[in-house]
Amino acid sequence: MHRILCLSILILFSLCPIVASEENTDISDENTNTRIGPEFSFDCNGDDARPEHPINQYIPYGERPDLPSGDTHKHLECQLYNPNDFNITVSLSVPLGIDIWSPDQYCVDYYSYGWDSDTGMWGIISEPICNNGKWLIQNGNSLGENYSYELVKNETIYSNLTIFADSLYHPMQPGFQEINLTTRITKTQWLGDNETLCQDCTTINYTSTQFFNEWWNIDVYTDLTNCYLLNRGYYSGDMLVIFDDFCDDVGMANAVEVLTQSDFIDVRCFQQQKYVYTEWNPNAQTTNECDFEVDSRWQQLFNSSKLDQTKMLDSHDGDDYYYDGGYYHYWDGVHHYEEYIDRDTNEEIDYWGSRQCPEQIPITVSFDIMGNINFTKNGKIQLISHQYSLNDGLTIHNISNQTFEISSNNTPNLAYNIPLSQSDEENLLIIIEGKVILENESYDEIILGACLTRFGADSLNEIYEEAALTMGISGGPLQRISNSIAYSIGVDSFVVVGFFSMCIPPILYLVLTRMVKRINGEF
């Protein structure tokens, strides 16, 4: 009896190492390892040392409440072992939203035509190109991507892996989460035989437990309302206006057309990360900011004499562009003047009336909300009208606000007709800026366009009309002749008129004297 008991104990102890070698030492209870077919082993150990960041890595070192943070990446030291007398191919896969980076060196043979020093002949030679680190898996298995290891018989491969989790579009929930690295045999090959696909071969999981903080990001897009998109169901939400009425409004369509004409300003926009800076970080909260610059030639036009105004607008003097900051800028005033003089100038033309400011500005704002938590935030759409004086360059700012509420559970798209306050008493250029503010923080700033007050449009019409008259394009026959002569010699028309006025009395005196002498001689 004792002999049987001792024999049983010995058999049990002999089996223990085999079982232990198949378990994940990290979380063995959670593994679902299946073994159908050839054997292999896969195991990893966590390394607390922070690995070198891959190029263009989007996970920043700094932690921030609204960015993926916590243990979003984890470095592992792994090994694969092929105990078989034949070659195997083992694939590695991860869940959706998980990226795998390896800091190991990877070399690829590059073939080119050149001089082979070994053979002493010209021909195709191979040269290895090596890189320190590469992405093994990106976006999980969403594109059917996986990474394979080829192991010859009795080979052990050591590999460093880094798990990058909590992606922008497939975020992990806050708290502790388990991430499975799944390996399975996909191919087998005996020496001298063809590869054999393995459909249901051995599968081994390694489970990594990682902690994730709460985070959220918001991308905001502000623009003038596009009724083409609105009427085709691109936007939805409880806070939307009734688009049938909104987009059938002729005044709104005219407002969009007026503001989209960039005749007076140069706009520069740029994005920046709101809280931190990394070289490339799509997960970071970004903001859009725009500034503008009024073309100084419009103010120069308003403050010049009639002759100088005409010279500025005359496209034939070759001065329709200027050089600034490494770029050539074309002044729109010249090109608009060409259109103006091509029309029938015998009739009154309200050329600049098409740039008159609308009474309301149609704005559409859409939100793209990402993260792993639910929230509700208060915000406001702010319309800022920068009233720029074309006479003295002074700017006055008027602000209108529309408040709203957004939720991560219901991503809204908002549309508003916001009244535009303006003055009709000065030569004003009004630059319209839209701004979206959430919880007193600015997320999107955009220059929607520029327009003129009625007084400003009338003043520009008058300048263009006077310029056409100064060039001798409009007016009566004698007026055109005198003005053409005056403009060609670069003087004001009154100089030519004055000259002819002074010449007329002597000419009349000579003519009349000769006529009197001729009459007296006949008698």
2-16, 203-217, 265-279, 284-298: range with lowest mean pLDDT? 2-16
> What is the predicted pLDDT for the residue at 2?
47
Mean pLDDT of 279-297: 79
Residue 25, pLDDT > 60, answer: no
CA distance 25 to 33: 13
Residue 498, pLDDT > 90, answer: no
SS (H, E, C) 323-342: EECCEEEECHHHHHHHHHHC
β-partners of residue 78 are 44, 159
> What is the predicted pLDDT for the residue at 59?
43
Give 410's DSSP letter. B
195-204, 275-284, 309-318, 451-460: range with lowest mean pLDDT? 275-284
Tens digit of each residue's pLDDT (9 = 90 or more) over 95-111? 888 888 888 888 877 78
Tens digit of each residue's pLDDT (9 = 90 or more) over 130-150? 887 888 888 766 445 568 899
The more confident residue out of 60 and 350 is: 350
Radius of gyration of the chain (CA): 39
Residue 19, pLDDT > 60, answer: no
> What is the predicted pLDDT for the residue at 511?
63
Residue 453, pLDDT > 80, answer: yes
12-21, 137-146, 159-168, 200-209: range with lowest mean pLDDT? 12-21
Classify burial at 410, counting beta carbons within 10 Å of its beta carbon; exposed 0-12, middle 13-18, buried 19 or more: middle
Tens digit of each residue's pLDDT (9 = 90 or more) over 219-233? 898 988 876 655 444
Cβ-contact 212, 71 below 8 angstroms: yes
Tokens (6 digits) for 415? 């549309």
The more confident residue out of 44 and 190 is: 44
* Cα→Cα distances 509→497, 502, 505, 512, 520, Å: 19, 12, 6, 5, 16
Binned at pLDDT 50, 70 and 90, residue 239 comes out as very low
Residue 313, pLDDT > 50, answer: yes
CA distance 98 to 92: 12
> What is the predicted pLDDT for the residue at 7?
42
Residue 4, pLDDT > 60, answer: no
The more confident residue out of 83 and 339 is: 83
Binned at pLDDT 50, 70 and 90, residue 90 comes out as very high
